Structures are given as C-alpha cells and as structure tokens.
C-alpha cells in the first residue's frame, strides 16, 4: 500500500526566482480563543488547597464558584443560588463561604463582591493577572511597613 506524503511546497525569491526553501506544507491553526467555560489553575495553589483541611461542603462550594467565576476572578452567585445549584441548605453555604474567606481562598472584591484569590487560579488576560499581583504585592508591603512601625512605637 502506498503512503501519501504531504504536499511539497517551494518558496521562491520573487526577485531572482531562486528556490529558497523546499519543504512540507503544514497547517497551523489560528490562535485558539476560549470565550467561556475556562480558567487558569495555578499548580502551587492547587497543592496549597489540597493541604488545607477544608470540609466537604466548603470544597463543593469552592468548586462551584470556580465553575461560575467571571473575568478577573469575580464570583457573584448569591448564597441562595449556590444552595439551589448544589442542593444544600443556605446556612451551610454561608458557613462554607465564611470558611473560604477565613482561609483567604476567597477575598473581598469591589462593591461587596467576592473574588477567588489569584494564587489558586485566574480567569482573564495574563497582563491583568500580573497587574493584579503587583497591586497585591504593594498592599502586602504597606501592611508590613505599618506593622513594623507599630512594633517600633
């Protein structure tokens, strides 16, 4: 049985007509664009999560919130919406979210919203992630300076 070879392609210099390259034609798809249903998970962050003693309900709520996460890690479902989606009691959802906030897995966002802490995952542009991390770094440095000044006083 004869095997089919890829189409041979010759690249010609337009000025001289000389063959510059004689190679195989390879299809290279355009950059993949994901519009929904994705986020970047951070391997170190997942390892940290695995080591935390999160209760089963807290882990279920976290996984649901990750599945509903919007750009720049905002999570907006209400406690009632989460409870309905997971067939849980609303007070149990509230307790799970409280635990995730205490463990700094969820952090406060703007206007009373919540965000997934970026060391666990990110949904958005890499540049936005870097900008977000720089802001967090500056905030940590300010807190450290304030703590050092308070210790000296």
Could you tell me the pTM of the whole model? 0.67
Give the CA dihedral 48, 54, 59, 61, nearest 10 degrees.
Answer: -120
Total residue count of the chain as it appears in this document: 153
Torsion-angle region of residue 42: left (phi > 0), alpha (psi -120 to 50) or beta? beta
Q: Across residues 6-11, what is the average pLDDT?
A: 61
Looking at residue 90, its pLDDT comes to: 96
Picking from 92, 95, 94, 59, the residue whose alpha carbon sits closest to that of residue 78 is 94
Tokens describing residue 89: 């009691």
Reduce the DSSP state of residue 41 to 3 states and report it. strand
Q: For all residues of the chain together, what is the average pLDDT?
A: 83
- pLDDT digits 0-9 by tens, 67-88: 999 888 899 899 999 999 999 9
Looking at residue 27, its pLDDT comes to: 60
Looking at residue 134, its pLDDT comes to: 85
116 pLDDT more than 80: yes
List all residues 6 or more positions away from 70 whose beta carbon is below 8 Å from its beta carbon.
Answer: 76, 123
What are the structural domains, with CATH classification, of the chain?
56-124 (1.10.10.10)
Query: d(Cα 13, Cα 68) in Å, to the nearest integer?
Result: 53
User: Which of residues 102 and 10 earns the better pLDDT score?
Assistant: 102
């Amino acid at each position: 049985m004869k095997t089919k070879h890829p189409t041979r392609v010759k690249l010609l210099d337009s000025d001289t007509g000389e063959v510059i390259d004689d190679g195989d034609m390879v299809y290279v798809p355009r950059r993949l664009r994901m519009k929904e249903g994705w986020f970047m998970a951070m391997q170190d962050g997942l390892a940290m999560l695995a080591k935390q003693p999160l209760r089963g309900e807290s882990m279920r709520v976290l996984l649901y919130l990750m599945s509903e996460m919007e750009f720049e890690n905002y999570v907006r479902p209400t406690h009632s919406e989460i409870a309905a989606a997971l067939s849980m009691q609303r007070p149990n959802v509230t307790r799970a979210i409280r635990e995730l906030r205490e463990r700094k897995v969820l952090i406060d966002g703007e206007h009373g919203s919540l965000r997934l802490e970026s060391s666990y995952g990110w949904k958005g542009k890499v540049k936005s992630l870097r900008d977000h991390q720089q802001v967090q770094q500056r905030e940590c440095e300010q807190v450290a300076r304030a703590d050092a000044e308070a210790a000296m006083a």
